[in-house]
Structure 1
Amino acid sequence: MRLQIIEEVTGEVSSNPVVSGWIKKDRIRAVTTGYLNSLSDEELIEKSTTDQLAAELAAIIKTELRNSNPPVGSDELEAVLNRVDTDVRMGVANGICAVTVSKGETLDILFGKIDNELKNLADETVDKYSGEVAERVTKRLDRTMAAVPCGLPVMPPHWIFTVNVWTYEIVGKYQTFTVIDNDNEVIPKPYFGHKGQRYVRQEESVYHPFKENEDGSSIAIGENTPIKFQFNGYASTIVGTGPKGVGDKLGDSTEKSVSYDDLIFEIGVNS
């Protein structure tokens, strides 16, 4: 990718008839090469997924042009530098695009692996459901699979989409969960005929309705605990590249809500 970007940027900038009289083609190549060689492979890839690579390289070349003391006024100089900025960005984009197209077969193989992984996750998920729910899940996953292309670059050419898959675990509890049976006929009530039965789940002690201890206090017969739940799943979608992922709040590969660890400890499930 370094070689492709160097040649594309050098060609774009030196083709400008005004700039070609201010700076030699070999100097443009040397400046571009020096900047790209100062980056590690990881830095080059990371900067190429955003606007940072083109912006930094354009700033270096424009500084080089200003230092060449071109025989023009300030307004004309800024107009030329704006054109140079565009030339550099086009050169960087074309260089990355050339690499992407040349590696089309490799990208197809990688996307094939992603497709297989998504299908395996889909099979595992659908196996947990049945009936109408399973049918809805299957249809949604089929639409997701159909939207995944086979390694082609998209416009603009230096931006490449990614297929992201998140696995998630949800744990929680209802502080108070109440069910009311309004058709209940067990508890008579004057005027209305009967009283609706209420079933409540919350953190509280349960006492006998009429039996008492020797000291007159109510007899505890048990503990009522809140309803707790835990389930796992996954989600997949196509997203754009960038320094921060979609829905990413903390920047870590694993993120937790504030009370997650407390609930995990309370419910007693493995995170």
Structure 2
Amino acid sequence: MFKQNLSTINNTLYTYDYMCEDWIGSGYNPMMKNRNTSTNCCDWNGVTCDHSAGDVIGLDLSCGMVQGTIHPNSTLFHLPRLQRLNLAYNNFTDSQLPPDIVRLSNSLTHLNITNCGFIGQVPIYISHLHKLVSLDLSFNEINLQPHVFINLLQNLTAMKELSLTFVNISIVLPSNLNISSSSLNFLNLGSTGLHGNLPPNFFSLQSLENLDLSGKSLTRHIPSDISLPKLVELDLSLNENLLIQPCFSVFF
């Protein structure tokens, strides 16, 4: 069982207090301590169910002071109607994102594993989650192989928010890189090790509001004929060789 491999972080000073306070208004929510003793999982904290069908459709353990290991055979990946999975700001140190995540390909729309201590390679099956609207893998010691990264951008047509901050990608951006989602409004690729020239289509995403390409790696100028009508924030900081058109606002 998923919960049998988890416990509560036994620290008086919770590592993510300040982050969680900004996010949910309090330092933490000790999920395992406050777990409802009901045998009906739909009554548990952080669990959302479709009561008409009795299916679990949401699991939110964010800032839950949870620690443990997520095993490849975890029952977490046996929830056929799971739409939202949020494990952010917990301690799953030495866990990997198992290939079994593909079992959720027909349902999962939101996946957040921000700052959870995940390691290893992101499985290629992440790009098979074709219903994903929001994906956040940030601040984990994980690697995203080039073909997996490219598949993410080219295959996930429903994507609106993609955050890969500090995920190790370390590739030269291909000049023909296409981003399939016309609804993408948030793209964070900061400190991923990407380098090379910016593909022209980065600057023609009509729905894009926030673009972060910071991190000492990009080598070309921002074109003057960009078409980003909804852009609110652009971060190109720590790219010392990048030429910025004077008419363009950049947040450093």
Q: TM-score, normalised by structure 1?
A: 0.20
Larger radius of gyration: 1
Q: TM-score, normalised by structure 2?
A: 0.21
More helix by share: 1
